[in-house]
Amino acid sequence: MLQYQEPLDLAFQALSDPTRRRMVERLSRGPASVSELAEPLPMSMSAVVQHLKILEAAGVVRSEKVGRVRTCRVEPAALSAAERWINERRRSVERSLDRLAVFLDETKPEEEKTK
Amino acid sequence: MLQYQEPLDLAFQALSDPTRRRMVERLSRGPASVSELAEPLPMSMSAVVQHLKILEAAGVVRSEKVGRVRTCRVEPAALSAAERWINERRRSVERSLDRLAVFLDETKPEEEKTK
DNA sequence: CTGATACTGAAGCATTCACTTAAGTATCAA
DNA sequence: TTGATACTTAAGTGAATGCTTCAGTATCAG
């Protein structure tokens, strides 16, 4: 279908793969080359580069090449966006649950209040 | 390959689909039936149920059936886990960047310090 | 009992995904 | 210049994903 993907879609999709999260984990401890990223992973470097492209397209990782070495680092802003999305939903749910608790408490027979 | 998926994998995968995030968004505003969930979505109810199963398997949504109506709600705990993962990586990156900034500042010629 | 409602499950299908291998292209070191 | 290093790209493959349709089942309302 080939349609436009908004940033949040790309970020969540990028993070949905365990290998890519391992790469982000590694990069969150500091910049690394593609080889360094690939070293602990049980797959070809080619596959790692493909994952890297997805992370970059999502804005989660940024990289620059100097000589023959490409150095990668995490871009915190893209992570923030995903984090915020989850946080907002979670807080919304928790607020609902609080209101429910208050409601249940207020509807309780008087003598049972303030457990 | 069919291998064990740990909770975080399932949660991130569940959230990687835009339709499922819309469902979570809707449910974060309060519980809903399957029909209510399906109503704004441009697909069959069958498809919605399939998405629902993925969200439930990931622990993001919980549901119970009373009579012929299944009522769904968000389980905040699973959201927390994903949120925490992102938060920890992001903070790690930001700490690294801070240390870098301090380093660069300390290595700067004296007269340029404290911009 | 009868029809409408609210799902539920199975099968099929096109597309996307996560790889692989193989054949590149730069860059660096000696 | 020659070889090794560090990617890079293209093509192919099998499995997973996101749907569809169709044929159920269970519940409720009259």
Map B16-32 to HEC letters: CCHHHHHHHHHHHCCCE
Chain segment A43-61, per-residue pLDDT in tens: 999 999 999 999 999 999 9
Q: Which of A18, A25, A30 sits opposite B96 (nearest CB)?
A: A30
Tell me the residues of chain B between 42 and 71 that have a Cβ less than 8 Å away from chain A. Answer: none
**What confidence score (pLDDT) does residue A111 get?**
54
Q: Does domain B7-75 have CATH number 1.10.10.10?
A: yes
Q: Which of A27, A79, A92 sits opposite B86 (nearest CB)?
A: A79
**What confidence score (pLDDT) does residue A2 get?**
43
Q: Taking Cα atoms as reference points, which of A42, A46, A44 lies closest to residue A22?
A: A42
C-beta of residue B60 within 8 angstroms of C-beta of residue B15 = yes
**What class has domain A1-108?**
mainly alpha
- Provide φ and ψ at B5, rounded to 5°: -105, 125
Enter the tokens of residue B47. Answer: 């498809």
Q: Taking Cα atoms as reference points, which of B74, B66, B78, B75 lies closest to residue B31?
A: B74
Half-sphere exposure of B1 (CA within 13 A, CB side): 3
Region A35-47 average pLDDT? 98
Q: List the single range of A2-11, A30-39, B15-24, B41-50 with lowest mean pLDDT.
A: A2-11
Tell me the residues of chain B between 68 and 107 that have a Cβ less than 8 Å away from chain A. Answer: 73-74, 76, 79-80, 82-83, 85-90, 92-94, 96-97
Interface test with A, best of B27, B62, B90 (most A CBs within 10 A): B90
Kindly list the domain boundaries of chain B, sorted by start residue.
7-75, 78-112
The answer on pLDDT for A4 being more than 70 is no
- Provide φ and ψ at A8, rounded to 5°: -65, -40
Chain segment A98-112, per-residue pLDDT in tens: 676 666 556 655 555
The list of chain B residues with pLDDT below 50 reads: 1-3, 113-115
Chain segment A68-103, per-residue pLDDT in tens: 999 999 999 999 999 999 999 999 999 986 676 666
